Amino acid sequence: MFVSQLINGSPSSVALQIRKAVTDMNDSRIRSLIDWLEQQSDKLTYRIMYNEILLSNWSKFQKHNLINFGDGTPIKQRYRREFARDGVFLILGTEDGIEVYFSLQTETLEILEQDPEFKKLIVK
């Protein structure tokens, strides 16, 4: 998907592309991306900026793999408020599915909340 399609596309088409990218993510693709990044001469070109989309999928990360800080295995995963920047999406696995946390500007969230495809995904 091109950046112009993300910017100009409907929220539902963008959500579909994100879902496809998450579904297609596997060990081989991640290793390929890491290899590609290692070959770049100017790695600072690819650092994370705050006007981009950042998607992190931890849905297949098993709870028993979480770090024990001395009080036993954590019962919940969360990200800190410092990571709440516009365009950050975090997918975490749960006992019976996934939880998706995201940070968006208020105007963007209000538009997304009106999208019928997005509304189907909301569980309260």
Is the pLDDT assigned to residue 29 strictly greater than 70?
A: yes
Rg of the chain over Cα atoms, rounded to whole angstroms, equals: 16
> According to the model, what pLDDT value does residue 70 have?
75
**pLDDT of 67 higher than 70:** no
Dihedral angle at the C-alpha atoms of 68, 91, 123, 17, nearest 10 degrees? -170
Q: What is the pLDDT of residues 48-66, one digit of tens each?
A: 555 556 666 666 666 555 6
* pLDDT for residue 84 is more than 80: no
**What was the pLDDT predicted at 83?**
63
Rounded CA separation 81/124 (Å):
22
